[in-house]
């Protein structure tokens, strides 16, 4: 049964215009409501679209929606004419040899993708679905790579099979020229020997260049092989049919590999070095450092690895020279190789290599994806809670010391949180979401987490455990870096926070005052300008979340929403008795790091689904903190009232404030701060008679009276507290 016949059996009468047709909607959700044709089909493409439901898809989806069986297994979506016939089917298998999908060559010539239908054995789904793109003949490819064999990359499954019949290992990608994917490149390790055979047409040659560049960027040894005598649009299968054979092909490859591609100069050595080290070394000019690929992440070269590999490159020239058949060429290359071993030539090679495109890296390219968290078992994609393989092109410099296991448990951690937070499930869930949020480089919440409570309450254990798991993603910051200082400049330790996601600071002294402008900057989303000692200024977008733990609440002088909307005070109110304290708790928790990472990743998912949504305990504790920091709050409530007809000389109001401070044993703020804080509450100043600065609409209450006589409006007597409840300045 072809697609056209099947569509008519499902939809009823169809008005055809070539391969396209319209009909009444067959979907059960429509019933008899579809009085006019609102359903479109395309037999050639095997698709449908319901205009009323704004719903479309392939024949498989239509079969599911209507409850009708698909055409017989193996039948591809057809045209309006005869059923399409399958000329060949090429299996794409995974590492374990399991069939993932097929490329089907049809008659007349065209290609389709299909995959086994897991719900109906023996039948097919005519799409790739969520299958990852694979190199053709992957199991054979991996075995050959492990054995150090040369891999042939061709265009098309037919060519790969032709070479396989000669005992060679060949692969390709589905889709033809221009469709080589990163997923295919990732199967090739650095150092792999690759021979790329191009089809003899413009798309084929462009495809060969594309594949060669992508594999060279991974550090593969890539050679493009020119096949002699190819007809226009010819390929390696045509070359073999015209008399080519295995031995001739291998001779072409050997000659190409032995042929020197780089000039005998320092720049030629730099180019040779770049080809050999692409995917293994990077140079970041703004950092002035080489980075080495460890197999899991990029790390700063602190041991001279780049210099050692430069020496290896020179020794490789000697090996190439030994393979040259011409004695004069061999002698010249050998002499150049020995001269290149001098310290000055090695230095020149590395200096020139710093600008080679395959090795150059920009600082902002590292750790750029805020949703990837690097673990020992792979890159955890926090958007989907799936683990990706470690790949150098991800440009990740951070690495957690544990792997991600979605089934890992952490019973000791759960018991610890339950004890120190007094069993408050909503507070535990909030902490879980906050830590999960901190795994990411997202800073949209713009908040500061402040763990507060007296000693022996678990704050430090909590922070040190999370810091240990996040490792290079975390950094301890001296509390002093966040406090007010005279002539403050952004210190070196702020500059070191590029790419960090979790920043902790502990133990502020009693009365220590936070540098509010810096806190706003560090918890915002704008770039921070910073520099290291004697270094150049640079900018970076913060990815970190600030976590403070202290026995004393740091002083926040500002009353504005810009600072207080960021503060999240998390109360640790339980003091663990001395006899209950476990000196081995840190080691016990370390054994559960994989489970705690899973707990944090679950928290990230909860945060994305629910938001942080601080519980009542956090809201109440933060409000109480804000009230304690409101140095003018009590004065405003007791001595100030708004009266639209009143005005008060600013100097008089400040003297009243100083007198109030003396009565209440408070330390007065400066006059400038006093004026600024009242303006933050919505009061405005103007110049009165004699150009004296006055508060517009503010009256002062009698110092010994709870009642304030207000004249000039409809109010008669009102307490300051009542009036401010109605028209608050706080």
Taking 70 as the threshold, does the pLDDT of residue 279 lie above it? yes
**pLDDT band with cut points at 50, 70 and 90 for residue 7:** confident
The helix (H) or strand (E) run that includes residue 546 is strand 545-550
Residue 368 lies in a domain: no
Residue with tokens 């957690």: 400
What pLDDT is recorded for position 258? 57
Give the mean pLDDT of 260-274.
Answer: 87
Give the mean pLDDT of 239-268.
Answer: 83
Task: Output the domain CATH number for residue 722.
Answer: 1.10.10.10
Burial 547-585 (b: 16+ CB within 10 A, else e): bbbbbebbbbbbbeeebbebbbbbbbebebeeeeeeeeb
The larger pLDDT score, comparing residue 722 to residue 531, is at 531
Average pLDDT of the chain to the nearest whole number: 86
Q: Are residues 471 and 516 both part of a single domain? A: yes
Q: Are residues 156 and 220 both part of a single domain? A: yes
Residue 476 lies in a domain: yes
pLDDT in tens, 60-111: 788 777 767 666 544 555 444 445 578 889 999 999 999 999 998 887 788 8
Q: Strands (DSSP E) along 308-368, which ranges?
A: 360-361
Q: Are residues 496 and 563 both part of a single domain? A: yes
Q: Are residues 587 and 445 both part of a single domain? A: yes
Nearest to 373 by CA among 439, 318, 284: 439
Residue 14 lies in a domain: yes
For residue 39, list its beta bridge partners: 23, 50
In the chain, how many domains are there?
6
Length in residues, the chain: 730
Taking 90 as the threshold, does the pLDDT of residue 51 lie above it? no
What pLDDT is recorded for position 81? 44
In whole angstroms, give the CA distance from residue 127 to residue 166: 32
Residue 189 lies in a domain: yes
Nearest to 338 by CA among 319, 306, 315, 312: 315
Is-contact 647 697, C-beta < 8 A?
yes
DSSP assigned state of 224: E
Give the mean pLDDT of 503-524.
Answer: 89
CB-neighbour burial class of residue 194 (10 A; exposed 0-12, middle 13-18, buried 19+): buried
Phi, psi dihedrals of residue 486, rounded to the nearest 5°: -70, 140
Six-digit token pair at 465? Answer: 């455990």
Phi, psi dihedrals of residue 117, rounded to the nearest 5°: -85, 110
Nearest to 29 by CA among 41, 39, 43, 19: 39
Q: Are residues 466 and 541 both part of a single domain? A: yes
CB-neighbour burial class of residue 544 (10 A; exposed 0-12, middle 13-18, buried 19+): buried
Burial 619-640 (b: 16+ CB within 10 A, else e): eebbeebbeebbbbbebbbbbb
In whole angstroms, give the CA distance from residue 693 to residue 687: 5
Give the whole-number percent of the chain exceeding pLDDT 70. Answer: 91
pLDDT in tens, 126-180: 888 888 899 999 999 999 999 999 999 999 999 999 999 999 999 999 998 989 9
Q: Are residues 324 and 456 both part of a single domain? A: no
What pLDDT is recorded for position 224? 87
Distances (CA, A) of 116 to 78, 101, 135: 19, 7, 18
The larger pLDDT score, comparing residue 143 to residue 637, is at 143
Give the mean pLDDT of 691-715.
Answer: 63
Q: Are residues 152 and 253 both part of a single domain? A: yes
Is-contact 305 292, C-beta < 8 A?
yes
Total Cβ atoms within 10 A of residue 396: 21
What pLDDT is recorded for position 624? 93
What pLDDT is recorded for position 728? 38
Q: Are residues 175 and 298 both part of a single domain? A: no
Taking 70 as the threshold, does the pLDDT of residue 729 lie above it? no
Q: Are residues 556 and 513 both part of a single domain? A: yes
> Sheet containing 47-50: which strands, arranged edge to edge?
15-17, 20-23, 39-42, 47-50, 55-58
Give the mean pLDDT of 587-591.
Answer: 96
Is-contact 570 431, C-beta < 8 A?
yes
Question: Which residues, 6+ apart, have CB-to-CB distance to 251 below 8 Å?
Answer: none
What pLDDT is recorded for position 399? 97
What pLDDT is recorded for position 77? 52
pLDDT in tens, 394-451: 999 999 999 999 999 999 999 999 999 999 999 999 999 999 999 999 999 999 999 9
pLDDT in tens, 204-232: 988 998 898 888 878 788 888 888 888 99
Residue 563 lies in a domain: yes
What pLDDT is recorded for position 259? 58
In whole angstroms, give the CA distance from residue 25 to residue 35: 9
Nearest to 466 by CA among 524, 544, 407: 544
Is-contact 163 121, C-beta < 8 A?
no
Residue with tokens 């960021």: 566
pLDDT in tens, 387-396: 998 988 899 9
Taking 90 as the threshold, does the pLDDT of residue 56 lie above it? no
Q: Are residues 478 and 536 both part of a single domain? A: yes
In whole angstroms, give the CA distance from residue 21 to residue 39: 8
pLDDT in tens, 572-583: 999 999 989 999
Residue with tokens 């997202």: 442
Task: Output the domain CATH number for residue 230.
Answer: 3.40.1360.10
DSSP assigned state of 608: H
Last residue of a domain, one of 258, 281, 297: 258
Six-digit token pair at 163? Answer: 């070479």
Residue 392 lies in a domain: no
Q: Are residues 463 and 538 both part of a single domain? A: yes
Residue with tokens 């008399």: 243
Is-contact 34 52, C-beta < 8 A?
yes
What pLDDT is recorded for position 501? 97
What pLDDT is recorded for position 1? 52
Q: Comparing 30-34, 501-505, 537-541, which segment has the lowest mean pLDDT?
A: 30-34
pLDDT in tens, 442-478: 999 999 999 999 888 999 999 999 999 999 999 999 8
**Are β-strands 110-116 and 99-107 bridged in parallel, bridged antiparallel, or unpaired?**
antiparallel
What pLDDT is recorded for position 416? 97
Residue 207 lies in a domain: yes
In whole angstroms, give the CA distance from residue 458 to residue 454: 10
Give the mean pLDDT of 524-538.
Answer: 81
Signed CA dihedral, 429, 434, 440, 444: sign only: positive
Question: Which residues, 6+ apart, have CB-to-CB distance to 609 below 8 Å?
Answer: none
Q: Are residues 454 and 328 both part of a single domain? A: no
**pLDDT band with cut points at 50, 70 and 90 for residue 282:** very high
What pLDDT is recorded for position 706? 45
Taking 60 as the threshold, does the pLDDT of residue 333 lie above it? yes
What pLDDT is recorded for position 125? 85
Residue 405 lies in a domain: no
Taking 70 as the threshold, does the pLDDT of residue 709 lie above it? no
Q: Comparing 215-224, 226-235, 512-521, 543-552, which segment has the lowest mean pLDDT?
A: 215-224
Expressed as residue numbers, the domain containing 44 is: 3-66
């Amino acid at each position: 049964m072809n697609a056209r016949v099947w569509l008519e059996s499902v939809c009823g009468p169809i008005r055809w215009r070539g391969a396209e047709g319209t009909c009444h909607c067959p979907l059960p959700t429509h019933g008899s409501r579809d009085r006019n044709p609102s359903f479109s089909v395309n037999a050639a493409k095997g698709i449908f679209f319901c205009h009323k439901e704004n719903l479309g898809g392939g024949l498989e989806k239509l079969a599911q929606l209507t409850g009708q069986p698909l055409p017989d297994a193996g039948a591809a979506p057809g045209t309006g004419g005869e059923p399409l016939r399958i000329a060949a089917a090429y299996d794409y298998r995974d590492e374990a040899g399991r069939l993932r999908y097929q490329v089907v060559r049809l008659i007349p010539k065209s290609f389709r993708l299909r995959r086994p239908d897991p719900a109906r054995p023996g039948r097919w789904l005519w799409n790739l679905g969520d299958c990852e793109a694979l190199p053709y003949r992957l199991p054979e490819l991996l075995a050959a790579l492990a054995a150090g064999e040369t891999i042939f990359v061709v265009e098309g499954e037919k060519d790969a099979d032709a070479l396989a019949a000669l005992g060679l290992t060949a692969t390709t990608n589905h889709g033809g020229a221009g469709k080589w994917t990163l997923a295919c490149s990732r199967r090739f390790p650095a150092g792999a020997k690759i021979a790329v055979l191009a089809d003899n047409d413009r798309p084929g040659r462009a495809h060969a260049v594309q594949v060669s560049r992508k594999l060279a960027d991974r550090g593969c040894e890539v050679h493009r092989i020119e096949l002699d005598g190819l007809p226009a649009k010819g390929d390696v299968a045509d070359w073999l049919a015209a008399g080519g054979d295995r031995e001739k092909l291998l001779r072409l490859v050997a000659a190409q590999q032995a042929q020197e591609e780089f000039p005998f100069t320092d720049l030629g050595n730099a180019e040779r070095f770049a080809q050999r080290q692409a995917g293994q070394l990077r140079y970041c000019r703004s950092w002035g450092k080489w980075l080495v690929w460890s197999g899991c992440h990029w790390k700063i070269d602190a041991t001279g690895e780049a210099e050692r590999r430069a020496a290896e490159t020179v020794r490789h020239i000697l090996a190439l020279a030994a393979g040259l058949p011409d004695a004069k060429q061999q002698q010249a290359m050998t002499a150049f190789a020995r001269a290149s071993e001098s310290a000055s030539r090695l230095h020149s090679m590395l200096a020139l290599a710093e600008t080679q495109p395959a090795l150059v890296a920009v600082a902002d390219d590292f750790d750029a994806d805020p949703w990837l968290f690097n673990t020992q078992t792979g890159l955890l994609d926090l958007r989907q809670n799936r683990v990706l393989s470690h790949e150098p092109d991800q440009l990740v410099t951070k690495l957690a010391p544990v792997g991600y296991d979605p089934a890992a448990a952490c019973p000791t951690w759960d018991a610890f949180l339950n004890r120190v937070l007094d069993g408050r499930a909503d507070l535990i869930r909030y902490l879980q979401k906050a830590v999960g949020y901190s795994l990411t480089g997202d800073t949209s919440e713009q908040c500061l987490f402040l763990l507060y409570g007296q000693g022996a309450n678990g704050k430090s254990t909590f922070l040190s455990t999370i810091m240990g798991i996040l490792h290079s993603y975390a950094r301890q910051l001296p509390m002093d870096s966040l406090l007010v200082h005279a002539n403050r400049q952004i210190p070196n330790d702020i500059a070191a926070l590029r790419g960090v996601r979790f920043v902790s600071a502990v133990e502020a002294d009693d009365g220590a005052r936070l540098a509010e402008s810096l806190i706003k900057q560090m918890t915002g989303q704008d770039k921070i300008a910073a520099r290291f000692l004697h270094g150049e200024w640079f900018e970076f977008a913060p990815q970190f979340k600030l976590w403070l733990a202290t026995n004393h609440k740091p002083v926040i002088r500002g009353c504005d929403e810009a600072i207080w909307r960021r503060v999240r005070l998390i109360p640790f109110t339980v003091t663990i008795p001395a006899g209950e304290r476990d000196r081995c708790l840190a080691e016990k928790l370390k054994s559960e790091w994989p489970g705690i990472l899973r707990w944090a990743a679950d928290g990230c998912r909860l945060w994305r689904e629910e938001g942080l949504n601080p519980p009542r305990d956090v809201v109440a504790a933060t409000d109480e903190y804000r009230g304690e920091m409101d140095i003018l709050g009590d004065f405003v409530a007791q001595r100030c009232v708004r009266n639209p007809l009143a005005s008060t000389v600013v100097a008089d109001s400040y003297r009243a404030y100083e007198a109030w401070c003396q009565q209440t044993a408070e330390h007065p703020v400066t006059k400038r701060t006093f004026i600024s804080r009242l303006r933050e509450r919505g009061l405005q100043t103007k110049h009165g008679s004699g150009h004296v600065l006055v508060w517009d609409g503010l009256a002062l209450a009698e110092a010994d009276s709870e009642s304030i006589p207000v004249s000039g409006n409809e109010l008669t007597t009102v307490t300051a507290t009542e009036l401010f409840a109605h028209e608050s300045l706080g």
